[in-house]
Each structure stands twice: as C-alpha cells, then as structure tokens.
C-alpha cells in the first residue's frame, strides 16, 4: 500500500492525503483506518483524530482502552491549545477557555492524576487562580 510506504518513509502529509482519498471509497477498511489513526497521531492532528475516533470505535479498529487513551490525550491537547491562545492584551480568554473545557470534561478526566497535573500546570503558567488552586488553610 502506497500510504504505508509513505508513512514508513516519514512522508506523513502525503500518506494522509492518500489515506483520506482511499477512505472515501473504503470507509470501513480496518487497516486503512488504523494507519490513518497512526498518521494523525504522528502529525499531532488532534482535531482530525477526534473526528476519526467514532469511526474507529464503531468499526472496532482499536480496543476500548486505546479509544479511552486517545480521547484523554485529545482532551489534554485541547487544554494546551486553550492555554496557548493567549493574546497580548489579556490572560482572561485562555483562562476562561480552560475552565470551560475543564467543566465539560468527564469526571474520570477530572479525577485522573495525569490530567489534573496537566491542567494545574497550565493554570500556573497563566498565573491564575483556577478551580484547582488550593485555598490557604484557616487557623481559626
């Protein structure tokens, strides 16, 4: 398969172009969908991967554990993208976006140590007092 060769040669953009063209005619081909997932991960194209996940799940291309890992990774990348959208004039917009994403997150993400740490680090980078910032203890 031409797309596999391009992938192995590190020509990811060409590989994804071939795969997306093939996907139109072979919607449920497991090997094609799997390779497309791999290319999106290598390209760090989280939005395209997010759109592909339901198809991967529906066609059982990867197991539910990997689906969960991919969804969590996508969520973490969305948090990072929200933090990175700082305009020069204000830090409020990224903070608002981060908090909106956090509130919409599934409970299992908000309880996952890795995700909480990532979110907290992003808040600290914004020098913000977000919902995860600990409050000082009262001595009274």
Does residue 56 sit in the same domain as residue 21? yes
Q: Torsion-angle region of residue 116: left (phi > 0), alpha (psi -120 to 50) or beta?
A: alpha
We report the CATH number of the domain holding residue 22 as: 1.25.40.10
**Per-residue pLDDT tens for 85-123?**
755 445 558 888 888 999 999 999 999 999 999 999 998
Q: What per-residue confidence (pLDDT) applies to 128? A: 54
Q: What per-residue confidence (pLDDT) applies to 5? A: 77
Q: What per-residue confidence (pLDDT) applies to 57? A: 95
Does residue 57 sit in the same domain as residue 7? yes
**Per-residue pLDDT tens for 16-57?**
887 887 777 777 789 899 999 999 999 999 999 999 999 999
Last-in-domain residue among 42, 61, 80: 61
- Across 1-16, average pLDDT: 78
Residue 16 or 77, more confident: 77
- In total, the chain counts a number of residues equal to 140
Token pair 């990532």: residue: 118
Does residue 48 sit in the same domain as residue 76? no
Q: What per-residue confidence (pLDDT) applies to 26? A: 76
**Domain-located, residue 133:** no
**Coil, strand, or helix at residue 55?**
helix
Specify the range with the lowest mean pLDDT, choosing from 5-9, 42-46, 62-66, 121-125. Answer: 5-9
Does residue 6 sit in the same domain as residue 53? yes
Does residue 51 sit in the same domain as residue 80? no
- Across 78-85, average pLDDT: 85
Q: What per-residue confidence (pLDDT) applies to 18? A: 79
- Across 4-18, average pLDDT: 80
Domain with 104, as residue range(s), is 65-125
Judged against a pLDDT cut of 50, whether residue 124 lies above it is answered with: yes
């Amino acid at each position: 398969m031409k797309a596999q060769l391009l992938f192995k040669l590190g020509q990811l953009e060409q590989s994804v172009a071939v795969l997306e063209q093939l996907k139109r005619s072979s919607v449920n081909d497991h090997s094609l969908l799997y390779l497309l997932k791999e290319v999106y991960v290598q390209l760090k194209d989280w939005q395209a991967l997010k759109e592909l996940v339901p198809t991967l799940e529906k066609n059982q291309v990867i197991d539910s554990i990997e689906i969960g890992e991919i969804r969590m990774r996508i969520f973490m990348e969305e948090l990072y993208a929200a933090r990175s959208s700082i305009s020069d004039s204000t830090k409020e917009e990224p903070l608002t976006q981060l908090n909106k994403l956090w509130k919409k997150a599934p409970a299992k993400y908000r309880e996952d140590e890795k995700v909480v740490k990532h979110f907290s680090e992003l808040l600290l980078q914004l020098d913000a007092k977000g919902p995860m910032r600990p409050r000082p203890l009262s001595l009274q």
